[in-house]
Amino acid sequence: MLLIGTSRAQKWLSSILASALVFGGAIVPAAALGALEVEKVVTILERLSTETGRTVFYDESAAQEWFEIDGESSQLIPAAGFSNTLWKEAFDRTMMGFIATISPAEMEKMMEEFADAIGEVAKMTPQQKQEALNALRAETGKFDAVRKRGAPYRDIVKPFDQRLRNISLRK
């Protein structure tokens, strides 16, 4: 019985290794995100953010925008070993993990501060500020969904939290 089990295990391992060779030589789950990968993403974003003066944000097209910005300037992304597809995966997972580190209470406070700042700049009435805050709160569901999708990456991104805050939550 042990020989049959070992033989099956060997066949199973051989098929996994063969599949890995066919699919790029990596035996890594699709949802994997490593600290080295996060480090590269954060370092690239810090540099690009400094070069452009832009704040890093997350939405479905942000990774592509940064890829294009980098393509027109320093080309750090391909130099770090990312293709367009791998960059999007790493960027999205890093940013979703970062958003997952922000508590709902902190998010509420940031929304209030943002609504106040917009209200002052736009010279809004108190009622208009409240409407703006309500509109932001309506968007909370989207943040909650992103936070949930980012939960598996939260712990790996957490050590980079302050660096991400510096380029994403600038005032």
Domain ranges of the chain: 33-168
- Band of pLDDT at residue 171, cut at 50, 70 and 90: low
Instruction: Say if residue 25 is exposed, middle or buried (CB neighbours under 10 Å; 0-12, 13-18, 19+).
Output: exposed
The C-alpha atoms of residue 118 and residue 125 are separated, in whole angstroms, by 11
* 145-169: pLDDT as tens digits: 999 999 999 999 999 999 999 999 8
Q: Cα 109 vs. chain centroid, distance in angstroms?
A: 21
- Two structure tokens written together for 68: 């294009």
**What average pLDDT is seen over the chain?**
80
The C-alpha atoms of residue 10 and residue 105 are separated, in whole angstroms, by 51
Radius of gyration of the chain (CA): 21
